[in-house]
């Protein structure tokens, strides 16, 4: 993700999606980080439409946004057991990506 506009679009997607998350989740995320996302999102021209009746995995959300939400979960929410599982998944995905 090298393009600033792409970063702004991902920030906007993420902020829009986080609106539908339980406040127990979002309240654990650093306010500084959320504020940075909001500032980036202001620069985005992308229209983000989230249908709360459809599971996130079935919506048109960028992989970068999904990755960012995964990272937020890992960083702020996951317990040690969950973190190990997430690391294992990320490692497996990286191996698959490298084989392409």
pLDDT tens across 9-56, in order?
A: 999 999 999 998 889 889 999 999 999 999 999 999 999 989 989 887
56: phi > 0 → left, psi -120 to 50 → alpha, else beta; which? alpha
Q: In which domain, by residue range, is 13 found?
A: 4-99
**Overall domain count for the chain:** 1
Biggest alpha carbon–alpha carbon distance for the chain: 39
How far is 58 from 51, CA to CA, in rounded Å? Answer: 10
Q: How confident is the model at residue 4 (pLDDT cuts 50, 70, 90)?
A: confident
Of the pLDDT bands very low, low, confident and very high (cuts 50, 70, 90), residue 82 is very high
CA-CA distances (angstroms) from residue 2 to 44, 64, 81? Answer: 15, 12, 33
Residue ranges in the chain assigned as alpha helix (H): 4-18, 23-26, 31-42, 63-76, 80-99
Task: Give the CA radius of gyration of the chain.
Answer: 14
- Following CA atoms 93, 35, 61, 70 in sequence, which dihedral angle do they give, to the nearest 10 degrees? 30
Sorting pLDDT into bands at 50, 70 and 90, what band is 1? Answer: very low
Dist CA 53 CA 88 (whole Å): 30
- Of the chain, the percentage scoring pLDDT greater than 90 comes to 64
């Amino acid at each position: 993700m090298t393009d600033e506009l792409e970063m702004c679009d991902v920030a906007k997607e993420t902020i829009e999606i986080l609106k539908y998350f339980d406040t127990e989740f979002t309240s654990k995320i650093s306010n500084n980080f959320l504020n940075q996302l909001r500032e980036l999102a202001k620069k985005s021209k992308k229209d983000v439409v989230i249908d709360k009746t459809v599971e996130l995995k079935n919506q048109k959300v960028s992989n970068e946004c999904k990755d960012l939400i995964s990272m937020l979960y890992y960083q702020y929410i996951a317990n040690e057991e969950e973190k190990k599982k997430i690391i294992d998944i990320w490692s497996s995905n990286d191996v698959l990506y490298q084989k392409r």
